[in-house]
Amino acid sequence: MREIIFDTETTGFDPQNGDRMVEIGCIEMIDRVATDNIYHCYYNPQRNMPAKAQEVHGLSEKFLLEKPLFSEKAHELVEFIQDSDLVAHNASFDFGFLNAELIRCELPPIAMDRMVDTLAIAKKLHPGAKLSLDALCSRYGIDRSHRIKHGALLDAELLAQLYIELTGGRQIGLGLANSRDGKSDIKKYHEVQKSESKPLRKARHFKILAAEREQHEKFMATIENPVWLS
């Protein structure tokens, strides 16, 4: 199964009110394993960059002035995405901007049934918790120390790791699809196990909030005659 993990940077919050996409970063994932196939591009938004937006991603008008227009790279992006599902955090925001740019180029928008929203997944797993990308990376022990400002490709890389955690962790061995080098995931898994240079993955330490602990204790108290007390 091929999926595209992606993130965007923009000039603001509303593509219907003149805001534009200025960066996109995409990572190919096959059977929940990220490949080395990525797509990354900056775009000239043909408008000013609000100071608050620049504070978030650090992309200035001067930097973007010499970048291509979205219309000049649109077919390249569509070719990379193909018919794969697209995974994003708060996906309706990124889909809104991506589709607005595609429509502006008179290209078909991405169907919403191809949208996978990691924010929605996280809400079901951790109700009441902080669900920003930063907060979830902290919860799952994903290193983001190199992240000074938001960046589409960097955030997509973090999201790819988070997506694996939210969907049950890396379960290698269930898929038989071959990757670009012709090796199945199972063969790669056994090669990794035999490699002496591959460090063992450290155990994950989850941070449990006081409110979550209280909610769990209330739920446990509703269970009648639990087997662990028999």
What's phi and psi for 23, nearest 5 deg? -160, 145
Sheet holding 2-10, edge to edge: 33-42, 21-30, 2-10, 85-88, 115-117
pLDDT tens, residue order, the chain (230 aa):
999 999 999 999 999 999 999 999 999 999 999 999 999 999 999 999 999 999 999 999 999 999 999 999 999 999 999 999 999 999 999 999 999 999 999 999 999 999 999 999 999 999 999 999 999 999 999 988 776 567 899 999 999 999 999 998 754 434 444 444 544 443 444 444 444 444 555 666 666 778 877 887 887 788 777 766 65
The catalytic residue among 40, 150, 190, 216 is 150
pLDDT confidence of residue 144: 80
Does the 2-167 domain belong in CATH 3.40.1390.20? no
pLDDT confidence of residue 127: 94
Strands 21-30, 2-10: parallel, antiparallel or unpaired by DSSP?
Answer: antiparallel
Helix (H, G, I), strand (E, B) or coil at 11: coil
Is 216 a known active-site residue? no
> Rounded to an integer, what distance in angstroms lies between the CA atom of residue 9 and that of residue 97?
9
- Report, in angstroms and rounded to the nearest whole number, the Rg of the chain calculated over CA atoms: 20
Per domain, the residue ranges of the chain are: 2-167
